[in-house]
Amino acid sequence: MLKTKNILDEKDKRLRLVSKEVTFPLEKKDLDMIDLMVEYLTNSQIDDLAEKYDLRPGMGMAAIQLGVAKRFLTIVHEIGEEEFDTYVICNPKLTRTSEEMIYVEDGEGCLSVNRDVTGIVPRHARVTVEGYDVNGNKIKIRAREELAIAFQHELDHLDGILFTDRIDKKNPYKGKDQMRSI
């Protein structure tokens, strides 16, 4: 089982690497890692299990957060009480974005950033992400609101970008009036 301590901290320089595209078929170790990522993200959003296993809650994870510079990510989105939609995408690319911009009112978080961060992270309200499933089949995902933010956040990880990089250092709430909070 994956533990919170296995996730790289923001001080780790590997988080700044640009991840490389994967080839198919995926290696067994990558498939095993994907299973662990999904298990962690699911369990971390179920209060009893998060407490039992001391897991920090998270919705998404990129392979680089476990020290593997490969372009795949997982998102486990809670759609109901302990009911989840799970997304696994390899070699993802953002192919469409909305003009409307949003931000997380309480602030974005990250499993690799274990501290409070003030400021807003401008994100597109709707996105289309294209890539491949674990078997190499082409997939397209349309996401909005919270799920769109999660995809943008994880895609940033694949390019060595942390959400803290997207907060204006001089004016952390810059542009807030031109965006909608969620």
Residues identified as active-site:
154
What stretches of the chain show up as alpha helix (H) in DSSP?
28-44, 47-53, 145-158
Peptide bond into 57 cis (omega under 30): no
Alpha-carbon distance 181 to 107, whole Å? Answer: 10
Q: How far apart, in Å, are the Cα atoms of 65 and each of 4, 58, 97, 126, 173?
A: 11, 12, 25, 25, 27
